[in-house]
Every structure is written in structure tokens, then in C-alpha cells.
Structure 1
Amino acid sequence: MTYALAPHAIPAIPVAGTDLRFPVHRIYCIGRNYADHAAEMGASVDRTQPLFFMKPADAIVIDDGDVPYPPATQDLHHEVEMVVALARGGRDIAVAHALEHVYAYGVGLDLTRRDLQANAKKQGHPWDTAKGFDASAPVSALRRVAEVGHPAAARLMLEVNGERRQEGNIAHMVFSVAEIIHELSKYYELESGDLIFTGTPAGVAALHRGDRFRAEVEGVAVLEGRII
């Protein structure tokens, strides 16, 4: 095949302890998946209607790299989240078999232009410019299921400049990992290489140029970086 233009490189994430890279197909995110975060945003959780949105695959920032402060915002917020990487996909995946599709776990930040999101909410508009911008998905190296199993209860934490900003437990997710995969597969045909950001606990706040962050899913993965 001859392309009209040179194709872009495939976004890929290191797999911890190996020379392998995980090629990213799509990035799915779920909102309002911790009741305390939903409450701090003035919203409520709805077990009958999960809230999904997406980021571009090339929004990832890897290898603890510097994260550029994005344009068009004065209010960049952090949201620390456990990240799930899929080895295979499908449609209408049953909850009972959903974890069989998981390749690895990590930790990431769902960076958000909060002022743009707030304005979009007021006008009933989509959140794309608030969530799906360049470098909006810093993510750690991935730890394979063979190493960490399927964590069901682990502390999820974020420190900024050495100060604890967010702390929760993945056991408190409204939709579990298996349920998220099941619900997503009703709307999309999931594929190998898909990433899922699984939601954030309370404590979201602003990041500024020069801030250093450290995100962790205890016993699973650590991500460090700097806003420049």
C-alpha cells in the first residue's frame, strides 16, 4: 500500500519489566465513577447510565515525561485514575468474562480543562475540548495481569509537590472494571490495544506550570511527571 502522506507513529506504552510496548488503539474514560468525586462536582452517580467519553490515542505521555500546560485554559485539573489495558476485545462482553480481556493495569491522569468543561456543561455541549486535548493522558508503564492479578482493592493516590491531593480506593468504584468493560462493549466493539481510564476519587484541583506530580495505584503502578 502506498500512502499519500507518511503514516504517524503508533502511540505505545512501555510494559514494565520487558522491552515490549503496548500499542494504543483507543482511550475510553468513565466519568462519575466515584461517588465522592461526583458529589464534589455537584453531580450524582447513576448505576443505570454510565458516563463515557474518549481521548485521542496520541494524547498519552509516557516514560514520566514532561507534560505541557495546554492552551485555551486557565484552570487545568488533575484526575488520578487506575488504567486498564485490553489484550482483546469484542461486543456485548459478559461481566463474568470481562476480566479475561485485560492485559495489564497502570495509573494515569485524566487531565481536564475545567473551565472549558464547566462552560460546556452550562450550554449542554460535548466535553471534547475539555478532555481530549494533546498530552491529556499521562500514563505509567503497564504491569501485566500475570504480575499483579486483577486488583479489586488498592489505594489510589496523587501527590503534587509532595502534598497529598487525592486518595481513594479502587474498591469504591461505582462500576467495577468488569462492569465498565461490559457497559462499554454495548456501545463499541472493543479491540486489543484499548485503554480504559476508570474514574477518579474526590480531591481534584488545579495544576500549574512547574508542579511535580506522583500518582500511584498501590502495589500496581507509579507515575511521576512535571507540568511545564
Structure 2
Amino acid sequence: WQPTAAAIVGVSVDGYPDWANEKRFGKFQDVWTSIGQDPSVIYYLARTDYKDDVGSWGEGFKCVAVRETNKNDEEKSVMSHFFYKNKQTPEGEVNEVTEKVTAIKEYGYQDVYNAIQYHLQNGNTLNDTLVFSDGVSCDLFQVPYANSGAGGFELWVNGENIRNIPKYCEFLFKYFSKKEEEFTIYNEDDCKDVENFNASKEPHA
């Protein structure tokens, strides 16, 4: 028996990743559960397998945190308030950007909104697909435009768990990424000012 190319790379016969199966995995991929959380909830970007962002975060981004507000159930959108640092950030300062994010459907999904679309301030849009979310501890996103279009993954973790990331979240990131090089985006020592900045922001619906 010779394995097919699809079996080797984990791609189904329709050309989609094998995890992009609404019938089997849709209940773990409801992106509205992920982004439609209370404004008091903060998620941190814990791990990635790419180091430069073509969207808003720039080169060498780190300490990325997000809080969602202005939830609109009808159009399935929120305003995402990002706090982050990168190579150009002066010592002791924190960058901030707010973008509209909309829940969309990717990979032929019919019922489950399984992806998000970032509406960047320059007018462009970027789509990330949700691989897994438990709606409580962590989210794993596929980022198709990362690594110069080769694709990548992001592990987002609830602020309550960021100092003790659940092992299954770490496992999922490593399993799906499969890249030797990974980047720790949240580091407690480096990111204290982002945490303090977040704490000073009054959440609003």
C-alpha cells in the first residue's frame, strides 16, 4: 500500500484540511463562541509558528492581548481591542489598535460560523479559521497568510490560564503546527506593562 499525497499532508479529497469537517468537528469550531465573549474576558496570544504579522501587529510582535466589545448578534461582529508590542515599540510603551471582526464561514461550512474576518484600518481584510475552541480556556486558529503565505497557527489562551496553559491546548498547537520553530508571544516578564495597560481599561459592552 502506498499512502496518497492527501493522506500524507492531512488533506481531504475536497482539498480542505482534514480538520475542516463540519459534520465531525463543527461543534468545536463555533467562532461566535470564541469572539462573542463578555468584555471583561481577555485572551492572550500565547504561541505562534510565525514571527512577523502582515496585518496590524508588525515585525517581532509580542505580548498580544485582545478584549471584545460592541457585540452585534445580528451581523455576528465585535470590536476587537488589541494591545501589543513589537520591534518598534519604545521601552515601557504599549501599542493599541481596534478592528472590527466578523464571524464568517470557510471551507464550505453551511451552518457553523468557523472563521473570523479582520477589517483592518487600511481597508483590507484577513481571514483566520478556527480549528478548535472550548469557549473557556483556549482557541487554535489557522492563519493562511502567515509565513509569507505558507500558513501558520495561533494559540490564544484565556487570561485566567495564561500562566498555566492547559496541556491539551499546548498539545493541539504542536500537533497542528508541525513546525520545528515556534514563538512564545506571551512572556510574563516582558508583558507586565500590557497586563497593567489592560487592567486600566474599563470594559464596556
Q: TM-score under structure 2 normalisation? A: 0.32
Flag the structure with more relative contact order, 1 or 2, with Cα contacts below 8 A and sequence separation at least 6: 1
Q: TM-score under structure 1 normalisation? A: 0.30
